[in-house]
Amino acid sequence: MSKELLRYLLTRFGQLLLIIFVAVSINFIIPRLLPGDPVQTALARLQATGGAQNVDIQAVSAAYRAKYGLDAPILEQYFNYWLDLFQLDLGVSFANFPEKVSTMIGNALPWSVTLLAVATLIAFSVGSLLGARLAWPGSGRTIKSIVPLMMILTSIPFYLLAIILIYFFAVVLKWFPPAGGVDTTRIMRLDWATTEDILRHAFLPCLAIILGNVGFWALGMRSQMVSVLGEDYITFAEAKGLHPNRIFVWYGMRNALLAQVTALALSLGSVVSGAVLVEVIFNYPGLGSLLYVAIRGQDYFVIQGVVLMLIVSLAVLLFLVDLIYPLLDPRIRR
């Protein structure tokens, strides 16, 4: 078995590397196809804020181009891009010169990762459990009545949900702050006040993502569970005189989850892109907001850095799911 397992792992790892290579290349090309000149934009902004009066724009522009290597032939730029990547050098932001892109991403990453991981995990587990109960013949009418609610939730895009949540909980009820990751006046320390502040800010974005996803997981799990419950091994488990709870978890959910995990792997992309929008709406200091601002300012290196980050983390997540899957399904372990 171990030999096959090793081959499986190596194949998957090879795929991971290939995905990253393609992603990096595409990521290099795409921003260079965008209309507009980033250097001009950056300079125009400088001028507008009064930072660059009486300067020879042409000269500065040329200097910038030379500095960032935008004058070099495209292949050379591409080669340099790879070289820089290996040194974790993602360039410098135009808009927030001279801040390094890697620093900006480093600051934003923990916010996004925590928010997304927690929200997705909650949505996935709550949704799957709900869906399984929905399909279980033993569950009551109350739980079955939430099906329409789930359907409505899945059909509302979660940025819309976010706006509704902000309106009710932040504007009308004022229970939670409407935006940001933490109070602007707060000095970050490792104490309860800071933690509470962060949690309060994270609550609404988290809720938006959970509500937007839970219906999807619940409905998916329900249909999986219905088909699993029709299997012969469920009848046989009943014939063995097992407790219904044991059948529900170890014979029902355990098998229905296989397809759910596959669905999780497949939907990670949309989960991430959806979360980007949620971050923008809540002005959450994560990668999503960073990307949004960068696109508006045509901040080349930041866009590249964030998108690369997203793609690589997606590829790594998929790789992890592939690693977990054989643990869940012994039939894959060969």
Partner 1 sequence: MTDKTKPILVVEELNVHYDTGKGPAKAVSDVSFSLLPGERLGLIGESGSGKTTMATALMRLTRAPGRIAGGSVKLDGRDILKMSTRELRETRLRDIALIPQGAMSSLNPVMRLEEQMIDAIVAHKPGMRRAELDARVQELLKNVGLAPEVARRYPHELSGGMKQRAAMAIATSLSPKVIVADEPTSALDVVVQRQVMQTLGRLQDGLGAAVVLIGHDMGLIAQFADTVGVMYAGKLVEIGPVRQMIESPKHPYTRLLVDSLPGIEVKRELTGIPGLPPPLVDLPPGCSFNPRCPLAFDRCVRETPLLQEVAPGQSAACHLYPEHAALPPLPPMTRAHQELRP
CB of 235 to partner 1, least distance (A): 6
In the DSSP assignment, the letter for residue 184 is T
| Residue closer to partner 1, measured from CB, 179 or 328 | 328
Number of residues that bind partner 1 (CB under 8 A): 23
Residue 148 makes contact with partner 1 by CB under 8 A: no
Closest listed residue to residue 288, CA positions, set 55, 66, 48, 109? 109
| Residue closer to partner 1, measured from CB, 148 or 241 | 241
| Residue closer to partner 1, measured from CB, 4 or 56 | 4
Closest listed residue to residue 115, CA positions, set 321, 289, 261, 264? 289
CB of 239 to partner 1, least distance (A): 4
Among residue numbers 205 through 264, which ones bind partner 1 (CB under 8 A)?
A: 231-233, 235-243, 246, 250-251, 254-255, 258
Among residue numbers 23 through 42, which ones bind partner 1 (CB under 8 A)?
A: none
Which sign, positive or negative, has the C-alpha torsion 23, 29, 35, 40? Answer: positive
Q: If DSSP codes are grouped into helix, strand and coil, which group holds residue 72? A: coil
| Residue closer to partner 1, measured from CB, 96 or 262 | 262
Q: How far apart are CA 8 and CA 156, in angstroms?
A: 39
The amino acid present at 262, given as its one-letter code, is T
For the chain, give percent helix, strand, coil, nearest 5: 75, 0, 20
In the DSSP assignment, the letter for residue 167 is I
| Residue closer to partner 1, measured from CB, 71 or 238 | 238
Q: How far apart are CA 24 and CA 12, in angstroms?
A: 18
CA atoms within 13 A on the CB side of 150: 21
Q: If DSSP codes are grouped into helix, strand and coil, which group holds residue 92? A: strand
| Residue closer to partner 1, measured from CB, 95 or 237 | 237
Binding mask 104-143 for partner 1 (x = CB under 8 A): ---------------------------------x------
CB of 4 to partner 1, least distance (A): 13
Structure tokens at 59: 């000269």
List residues binding partner 1 (CB under 8 A).
Answer: 137, 231-233, 235-243, 246, 250-251, 254-255, 258, 328-331
